Structure 1
Amino acid sequence: MQAACKKDMPDDPFAQDVLAGLTAKHKWISSKWLYDQAGSQLFEDITQTEDYYPTRTEAAIFRTMMGELAEITGIGGGVAEYGSGASVKTRLLLDAVKPQLYVPLDIAGEFMEEAVAELSDAYPDLAIAPVVADFTQPVTLPDAFNRLERRLGFFPGSTIGNFEAGKAGEFLTRVHTTLGDGAYFLVCADLVKDRDVLRRAYDDSDGVTAAFNLNLLTRFNRELGADFDETAFHHEAVWNEDRSRIEMHLVSDKDQTVHVAGQDIDFAEGEHIHTENSHKYTPDTMRDMAEGAGWTVEKVWTDERDWFGVFLLKA
């Protein structure tokens, strides 16, 4: 119970965000809280499901374009990866641009430590300086990175889609400031496509995405002393045409009252907790957003079906 008591403290960001979201008129939770240790591992499991195409499509693009990327950016210098996760795709980038310093940034520190340990074994000559940080907020990179002439930011996995449209532009502006003039930023984005393909990707037939979403309730129980009945909610993924995004929700199966960090939270049957958005872009909408944040779009790579895009930006 010690962890739960700690989370009851009003200055704890997780407790504050959860209580604010669950007491709002339309209940919601920031998607960044999906990524505790268990959630991060479940997301890696999602990327291996048959229905989830983005990871395979992105990796296929990487295998064809990394040589060209290295010619544009040059080799050496530093790579800063936003939301490093398991860092599997990172190896393709490291092999291509051969940096002297790699800075992974992730909110899930324990999960990142495991990935860094594996990378250290695979790249014994590479300096690695992990930063545990919420990259949706301003972050500070190590001085050793900032002093390098060649600096490349890396944002894989179409995570840019988790931001609201305006917030995505603000994020790109912050990264521009953080990386500095002359830096490159490699950003990956999922593109608009057939709606059924999108829905299956976020509600896979193996139920892994459902487990990923429902793990949020497990985290509430563990860290906030909550008493969610995880069998009384179900996962739902819907396409919002007006906002060009997939939305993930946890839906209450009955009228119920749940206790969270000392507060009573009422749910009506069918009431939703909105847990994640995944916006889908076109090459033109990505270009407009990047240029609005002060970047120049140097190169765009897509797959043969135009399902996924990799955008190289320069500050």
Structure 2
Amino acid sequence: MSAEPLEIYLEEQDLGRSLREDVRVGLTADAKWLPPKWFYDARGSELFEEITRLPEYYPTRAERAVLAERAADIAELTGAKTLIELGSGSSEKTRLLLDAFTRRGGLGTFVPLDVSVSALRQSTEQIAQDYPGLRVRGIVGDFTRQLDRLPTGGRRLVVFLGGTIGNLMPAERAGFLRAMRDALEAGDRLLIGTDLVKDPGVVVPAYDDAAGVTAEFNRNVLRVVNRELGADFEPEAFTHVALWDAEREWIEMRLRAQRPMRVRVLDLDVDFAAGEELRTEISAKFRPEGIAAELAAAGFTGERFWTDPDGLFGVTLARAD
């Protein structure tokens, strides 16, 4: 069985408009910033895949360990008829769930949502080939804006893995979870992966590896802005910085200007002082009671919380009230 034609709710012009808006707002702010979603062009996605295999980068391995151990439990507890994945990428870890649901029986439809048409087309065709009894319905959209496009009916399980929720600011996170609840019906489930608070000596190297792959990934956002908006950033003139914020319990990735410079982008002249930093990502780390409280505030009840054997990463199964 082949995958169904992609449902496209996010066009190239939408992405271009969004990038221009983010660049204009972020680079004219008192403390400059760019959102992390612009890391992920084809090169950025390759670099991130490389990061997930680095010895310092524990989140992918730890989350995969949880899913490998608990996939059968998730299938049994939810009995889902439709599995929806937000920010699906290659859907590699989701295959552990698809295998478990296939063994149990009853799952009819898989719905991956991602911003990348090419990545989604490739992954949906492969999954349709590997799981011939499954209806595969890919949606091109932004999980912060297109949750109202998710298919309705049946018993649904929405999967949001990778600790991606930690890239949202607290107010954005609360808004996303409320929108997620509004898109679901009572009894539907949400499976969400969250990196856990731990010794900064473990966290920081995961975002500042010895081989410099994360530094290259971080600078890639400047290359994206150069290519898409005709800017003249010099990526190599920025140093990669990863800092642990103990009060907020998150890691910040920044790019630090090595010297004074002026960058032309859109119709702006953006000045950087020597040592000035541009924030490109936050990655919040969670405590079990914290994620439970955030889910409850949005209208979910936590049903299960699992971690890997080392307690590095958490996976929560929650029910929409």
Shift of 1:101: 1.0
When structure 1 is superposed on structure 2, of 90-99 and 51-60 the one drifting more is: 90-99
1:136 aligns with 2:144: yes
Contact persistence 2:124–2:137 (CA under 8 A):
no
Aligned to 1:212: 217
1:74 is matched by which residue type in structure 2? G
Shift of 1:178: 1.0
Shift of 1:161: 0.7
1-structure distance, mates of 2:146, 2:92: 25
Aligned to 2:182: 177
Aligned to 2:204: 199
Equivalent position to 1:78, from 79, 82, 90 = 82
2-structure distance, mates of 1:72, 1:34: 36
Contact persistence 1:138–1:174 (CA under 8 A):
no
1:237 is matched by which residue type in structure 2? A
Shift of 1:252: 0.7
Equivalent position to 2:298, from 293, 299, 310 = 293
Contact persistence 1:246–1:279 (CA under 8 A):
yes
2-structure distance, mates of 1:247, 1:107: 24
SS of equivalent residue, structure 1 residue 266: strand
Aligned to 1:311: 316
Contact persistence 1:80–1:153 (CA under 8 A):
yes
2-structure distance, mates of 1:109, 1:202: 28
1-structure distance, mates of 2:124, 2:43: 17
1:168-195 CA distance string (max 9 Å, x none): 1221111111122210000010000110
Equivalent position to 2:30, from 21, 25, 32 = 25
1:69-118 CA distance string (max 9 Å, x none): 1121115x111111101110010011112321111111222222222232
1:135 is matched by which residue type in structure 2? F
Equivalent position to 1:105, from 104, 113, 132 = 113
1-structure distance, mates of 2:271, 2:121: 38
**TM-score (normalizing by structure 2):** 0.91
Aligned CA RMSD, in angstroms, stands at 1.7
Q: Output aligned runs, 1:37-48, within 5 Å.
A: 37-48=42-53
Aligned to 1:3: none
2-structure distance, mates of 1:255, 1:113: 43
SS of equivalent residue, structure 1 residue 205: coil
Contact persistence 2:114–2:140 (CA under 8 A):
yes
SS of equivalent residue, structure 1 residue 228: coil
Decide whether aligned partners of structure 1 residues 58 and 173 sit closer, same or farther in structure 2, where only a CA change above 3 A counts.
Answer: same
When structure 1 is superposed on structure 2, of 294-303 and 204-213 the one drifting more is: 204-213
1:277 aligns with 2:282: yes
1:90 aligns with 2:104: no
1:146 aligns with 2:172: no
Aligned to 1:12: 17
Shift of 1:60: 0.7
1-structure distance, mates of 2:114, 2:185: 20
Runs of at least 5 residues in structure 1 that lack an aligned partner in the other structure: 1-5
1:239 aligns with 2:244: yes
2-structure distance, mates of 1:254, 1:109: 38
1:93 is matched by which residue type in structure 2? L
1:185-217 CA distance string (max 9 Å, x none): 000100001101100001111211111111111
Shift of 1:63: 1.0
Equivalent position to 1:257, from 262, 279, 282 = 262
Contact persistence 2:241–2:255 (CA under 8 A):
yes
| Alignment coverage as a number of residue pairs | 304
Contact persistence 1:40–1:111 (CA under 8 A):
no
1:29-73 CA distance string (max 9 Å, x none): 111222222222221221111110000011111111111111211
Contact persistence 2:72–2:97 (CA under 8 A):
no
Misfit runs of 4+, over 3 Å: none
**TM-score (normalizing by structure 1):** 0.92
Shift of 1:163: 1.0
1:90 is matched by which residue type in structure 2? T
1:313 is matched by which residue type in structure 2? A
Aligned to 1:115: 123
Equivalent position to 2:163, from 136, 150, 158 = 158
